[in-house]
Structure 1
Amino acid sequence: MKHLAAMFMLMVSLSAAADGELATVDEVLNSLHETASTASFEKYFALYDDSAVFIGTDASEVWSKKEFKAYAKPHFDKGRGWTYLPKDRNIYFSPDKNVAWFDELLDNESLGETRGTGVLVKKAGSWKITQYHLTIPIPNEIADDVAEQIKAIK
């Protein structure tokens, strides 16, 4: 019985730890969107790992952190960030709880519904974004038409 009680307490503490990690990763992603919206350059890029990659909606947009900073700086310097409002998010963890990946649906004034996906790594006790990928989900009903439009401009 003592072993069963000890196992139960371990499961409860592991569950609480997982919930704490979930809340922390969720907070990092919320901060990402908040600091982008307020054009807080230093705070925004502090959320990214030095090895981070940002993948944008255009096929040509695969940027290192340094390249993405160069793209963002003129916008942020003018006080113009970008606002994506999260409306649904799923977060998953590796068994050792040192890697997290996510998918989220976002609302954006000009693009409408978008999707962000990415990966975070835990280094020295802090979660850092190592990849963020912004996409525009295309409804299946219009996917063929959109594909034809893309082919036409290539």
Structure 2
Amino acid sequence: MQKWLALLLLVALNAHAAPRDDIASVLDSFHTAAARADLPAYRQLMTADMVFLGTDATERWQGEEFIEFARPYFDRGKGWIYRPKERRIDIAASGDVAWFDELLDNDKLGLCRGSGLLLKTGSGWKIAQYNLSMPVPNAMIESVAQAIRTETPVSAVAEESDLGAAEDGGEHSSGEAQPRCRKRHKTNRAADC
């Protein structure tokens, strides 16, 4: 009897761990495809209407808008490299929705955080939202908030975005001050502010 209980417990644990392993694999593949500038592999890991939120308040791309943002960089072989250091994955009781947060290392930015949502589809887990951010230590938060408030707005949207595809090796960089609310990058639509 104890052998059967142990076997059932092992099966239940494996059934619960397998989706997390599948999700972790999707996220690892997402970062690998970005680092390799492999747009087809990158795209297949996302839902059609996936939302990507970058580190700048104006960086919100949805679906093909994000792919078109990434395309010129990937076409030049310039992806972005974020190496996962730590990751947490939670799965809804329904088994078809998962959310995650991960700490990432980037050569230029240092410690970053990715978080988001995945949906289980007929072709496996797909990323429905990815949010890239930079965690600010509490000791620095007031000075960072003040710097953002006093930033000089830029009147034109730069053609080169700063998601991570700068010419210096594909890392996230931006030397310009960015306004808190402006037109979305490479579109004529106003950002949702």
Instruction: Indicate the TM-score class for this superposition, using the shorter chain for normalisation.
Output: over 0.9
In the TM superposition, structure 1's runs of 4+ consecutive aligned residues that sit over 4 Å from their partners are: 4-11
Superposed CA deviations along residues 78-124 of structure 1, whole A, max 9, x for unmatched, are 00000000000001110121111100000001111100001000011
Could you list the runs of 5+ residues in structure 2 that have no partner in the other structure?
A: 152-178, 180-193
Structure 2 SS opposite 1:58: coil
Superposed CA deviations along residues 47-77 of structure 1, whole A, max 9, x for unmatched, are 0001210001011111102111111000000
Structure 2 SS opposite 1:115: strand
1:110 and 2:105 aligned: no
Aligned partner of 1:19: which letter? A
Larger CA deviation: 33-42 vs 60-69: 60-69
1:17 and 2:11 aligned: no
Once the 2 structures are TM-superposed, how far is the Cα of residue 142 of structure 1 from its aligned partner? 0.5
User: How many residues in Structure 1 have an aligned counterpart in Structure 2?
Assistant: 152
The answer to which structure has the higher helix fraction is 1
Please tell me whether the aligned partners of residues 49 and 64 of structure 2 are also in contact (alpha carbons under 8 angstroms): no
Please tell me whether the aligned partners of residues 51 and 128 of structure 2 are also in contact (alpha carbons under 8 angstroms): yes
The answer to which structure has the higher strand fraction is 1
Please tell me whether the aligned partners of residues 81 and 106 of structure 2 are also in contact (alpha carbons under 8 angstroms): yes
TM-score when scaled to structure 2?
A: 0.74
Corresponding residue of 1:93: 91
Corresponding residue of 2:182: none
Corresponding residue of 1:60: 58
Please tell me whether the aligned partners of residues 113 and 132 of structure 2 are also in contact (alpha carbons under 8 angstroms): yes
Please tell me whether the aligned partners of residues 103 and 111 of structure 2 are also in contact (alpha carbons under 8 angstroms): yes
Could you say what the CA RMSD is over the residues aligned between the two structures, in angstroms? 1.6
Once the 2 structures are TM-superposed, how far is the Cα of residue 7 of structure 1 from its aligned partner? 6.8
1:48 and 2:29 aligned: no
TM-score when scaled to structure 1?
A: 0.92
The one of 126, 141, 154 equivalent to 2:139 is 141
Aligned partner of 1:93: which letter? I
Structure 2 SS opposite 1:121: strand
